[in-house]
Amino acid sequence: MSRHFVQTEGRRWVEQGIITPEQHQQIMELYGEKKRAAGLLPLLGGLLVGLGILSFTAANWQGMPQLMRLLLLIAVMAGCYGAGEALSKKGHSKTGIAFIGLGLLSFGAGIVLTAQMFHLEAYDATSWIVWGCAGLLSTFLYRSRFLFTISAALFTAAQLYSVTEFHQFSYAAFAIGLVGLGGYVWRRQDSYQVWQFSLSFIAQSVMLVAVHDWKFLWTAVPVMALYTLGDALPNRKAFHPLQTAVLAAVFLFDWFVVLFMGKGDFLAVRHDWLPAAAPFLAVMALLLLASVVLKLRSGRGITAIEWLLVPVLLYVGHAVDAIYVIVLFVFSLYVLWRGYAEEWRLKINLGTVLFLIGTMTAYGKLTWDFMDKSLFFVVGGALLLAVGWLLNRRKREFFRNGKEGTDHAR
């Protein structure tokens, strides 16, 4: 709730005698604007100071003897870390973290500038990984979201660098990131960080498969393993992004299939995408089994429908765009339905958006032999109406029985 909302609405509540002006003032104090704005300023300030130091150093760099340069770098780095520690000890935690971040930034600059001094060229992503490790350790020390974000970005960048520059997947970057970032996420159980961890994992899975020229669908193995892990972990509120991120990625992929894999197009990529059916489908079936068992155990069996998005139906071989437009529809209906059933507005809105995306894609893109376009939309509309009617009836029953739908844990 924003301060602005409380301010304007609160006046009305006071006028109607619901709360006293004093109470209104007390409520307003809970939503202090100063606190939030002041949180951002030190970060921006730190960034500017950092850029200034960098450009000053770069301009005078060549004139300095090498030993001097190295000492200066280390002094700046240690100074930033020290200032960060001193500030956060005094309770200025935001400013403190900004300085720790600067220390980390100057370490990275130190690596680059040392390499320049000796004309070193990297063979692999080692220096990025070392940088990421420094970020990771400082994250553990200061338990900061900001530092976690930087560290996650560093490990992902290390992988991207290794893959694009050297055509090699850095298992070291992947493993250290998995254990380090994963360990931190496991201890903190904060959904914001779970999101970043999941996105980094998915991006690296794509790179792993792409750089080895493996059949693209193999990406689904690590990605759906991450999804299944989401079924195994207890704290759903914190860990749901493991699954939400995977579903978002797979939804995007399916949407891509619908958009670009019309008639002949799929034939052209089929060989690059599809692994040998038997081993791939066997692995998928195992993951599905594990996921469903875990779901049933925690009473969320219905969410097994989400597996529908996994693009195994590409093995059908033709009309894959039509198949996946239907899958997208079914999935968005499912999200809508769960949203209404759980009375969770965010999910209802998300389902609506997904449904609209599906509809517009289908309308704009597809020409079909198997079903008339207009018939398809009539069927789709009728389905929506039916789902709406069912849900409303269920809702009425809920209220008749005096129950409240507060099960937001999905």
Partner 1 sequence: MPGKYRLKLLIALIAAQALFLVGIASSSYAAGRLGQEIRIRTAPVDPRDVMYGDYIVLSYDISRLDKSLWREGGDIPKRGETVYVLLKQSAANGGIYEAAGAFRSKPAAGSGEAVLKGRVDYSFDNRIRVRYGLEKYYVAEHQGKELEKKAGAMIAVVAVAPWGQTVLERLEEGR
Would you count residue 66 as binding partner 1 (CB under 8 A)? yes
Contact 220, 202 (CB under 8 A): no
Would you count residue 207 as binding partner 1 (CB under 8 A)? no
CA atoms of 68 and 70, how far apart (whole Å): 5
Over the window 15 to 54, marking each residue x when it contacts partner 1 by CB under 8 A and - when it does not, the resulting string is ----------------------------------------
Count Cα neighbours of 397 within 13 Å in the Cβ-side half-sphere: 7
Would you count residue 213 as binding partner 1 (CB under 8 A)? no
Count Cα neighbours of 225 within 13 Å in the Cβ-side half-sphere: 8
Would you count residue 116 as binding partner 1 (CB under 8 A)? yes
Q: Which stretch binds partner 1 (CB under 8 A): 108-116, 273-281, 301-309, 380-388?
A: 108-116
Q: Which stretch binds partner 1 (CB under 8 A): 160-168, 184-192, 259-267, 393-401?
A: 160-168
Q: Which stretch binds partner 1 (CB under 8 A): 71-79, 145-153, 202-210, 354-362?
A: 71-79
- Among 83, 102, 111, 310, interactor with partner 1 by CB under 8 A: 111
Would you count residue 57 as binding partner 1 (CB under 8 A)? no
CA atoms of 261 and 264, how far apart (whole Å): 8
CA atoms of 38 and 168, how far apart (whole Å): 43
Q: Give the 3-state secondary structure percentages of the chain, helix then strand then coil, rounded to 5.
A: 85, 0, 15
How many residues form the binding site for partner 1 (CB under 8 A)? Answer: 36
Cβ distance to partner 1 smaller for residue 101 or 311:
101
- Among 46, 50, 81, 218, interactor with partner 1 by CB under 8 A: 81
Shortest Å, Cβ 78 to partner 1: 5
Q: Is 76 exposed, middle or buried (0-12, 13-18, 19+ CB in 10 A)?
A: buried
Closest C-alpha to 249, from 179, 306, 175, 315: 306
Would you count residue 119 as binding partner 1 (CB under 8 A)? yes
Show contacts with partner 1 in window 167-196 (CB under 8 A): 167-168
Question: Could you tell me how many residues make up the chain?
Answer: 410
> Which 3 state secondary structure label does DSSP give 344?
coil
* Six token digits for residue 387: 């789902």
Shortest Å, Cβ 205 to partner 1: 19
Shortest Å, Cβ 137 to partner 1: 5
Closest C-alpha to 77, from 61, 54, 56, 94: 54
Cβ distance to partner 1 smaller for residue 144 or 244:
144
Torsion of CA 229, 233, 236, 237, to 10 degrees: -100
Query: Which residues touch 191 (CB under 8 Å, ≥6 apart)?
Result: 237, 238, 239, 240, 241
Shortest Å, Cβ 74 to partner 1: 5
Would you count residue 141 as binding partner 1 (CB under 8 A)? yes
- Contacting positions for partner 1 (CB under 8 A): 62, 66, 70, 73-74, 77-78, 81-82, 85, 89, 103, 107, 110-111, 114-123, 130, 134, 137-138, 140-143, 166-168
